[in-house]
Amino acid sequence: MRVTGRVQGVGFRYLAAKRARSLRLAGWIRNERDGSVSAAFEGSREAVESMLAWCRRGPAGGSVNGLEVSWEGPTGASSFEIR
């Protein structure tokens, strides 16, 4: 997924990672040079959809303008990391 808006410098990655771990998701999240944030989530469909719903809102200090989602097969990740 790729989220755009005011999503860097507002704790988006930290809070998203905390949420992903609470949902028992694996994967990663990182800032991009263009100001967006990209992430990959692996887990149950229900947990991933819950995570995407959170990403559409983002943290209180941020502002999400757009969310692009592409579904891919799992890679076998076993933890969630901030890159």
Distance in Å from the first CA to the final CA of the chain: 14
Q: Which region, left, alpha or beta, applies to residue 69 given φ > 0 means left and ψ of -120 to 50 means alpha?
A: beta
In the block, tokens 């943290």 appear at 59
**Which of the residues are catalytic?**
13, 31
